[in-house]
Amino acid sequence: MSENDATQATEDQDPSLFAAPPIGEQERMVEAILFATAEPITVRSIEARLPHGCDAAEALIHLRKRYEGRGVRVVRLGEGWAIRTAPDLSFLMHKETVETRKLSRAAIETLAIIAYHAPVTRAEIEEIRGVSVSRGTLDQLIELEWIRFGRRKMTPGRPVTFVVTQDFLDHFSLESARDLPGLKELRQAGLLEARPLGAGGLVDKDDDGEVLEEEGQGEMFEE
């Protein structure tokens, strides 16, 4: 008997020798592959890992149905397949952290003046500080929701005013703006710096008469 005849005879005697595993077993294999693979994997790549005769596409369909309504799902992503968290449970994967950042002196002074003098206009803030106020500083304080626009003043030009918000009071555990420390206490605490007014009342100058630019004026936070 030739070698080919012997092989054929063996296959005839045991037709299950090269038969594919049952579909349930194929599902288990595909499930194991998906759990062990971080990136989506294609059907062809899955099939290359399975025993001869397996149908990865069919196993994926069965597996997908079996995971319906569970905490994770079998999903198709482009040409690949993967196991992913159910969309309605994605909030469990989010971690919220609070990043503490130090306010720049420009922001602290501006915020302190608004809190103490509200409602106060930008020109009045500049007059008290002795330097011009960066628009970026006001914009970022607004983004923090610590200040907001107040009523316009009944003066020429009807300038807009700024006031502190409820979020500001909540953050500093204040019942109302009346509980804020006075201007003297703010200066003693180093939160408000007294600067000599320049010739225009809005800028500082050095001994040579050059205008001093405010350090960190455009930045609200210090690194």
- The two domains 20-92 and 102-200+215-222 share their CATH topology (first three levels equal): yes
Mapped onto helix, strand or coil, the DSSP state of residue 132 is coil
| Helices (H), ranges, 68-182 | 105-117, 122-129, 135-143, 166-171
Sorted by sequence, the CB contacts under 8 Å of residue 177 that are 6+ apart come out as 115, 118, 164, 169
Q: CATH 3.10.20.30: does it fit domain 20-92? A: no
Q: Which residues pair with 41 in a beta bridge?
A: 81
Report residue 43 as tokens. 């059907």
Report residue 127 as tokens. 């007059």
Complete edge-to-edge strand list for the sheet that includes strand 147-149: 120-121, 161-164, 147-149
pLDDT in tens, 181-194: 665 665 665 555 55
Q: Residue 77 and residue 58: Cα distance in Å, rounded?
A: 17
Report residue 213 as tokens. 């630019």
pLDDT in tens, 54-98: 999 999 999 999 999 999 999 988 889 999 999 898 888 877 777
Better pLDDT: 158 or 11: 158
Identify the residue whose tokens are 């899955």: 46
CATH architecture of the domain formed by 102-200+215-222? Orthogonal Bundle (1.10)
Domains of the chain by residue range:
20-92, 102-200+215-222
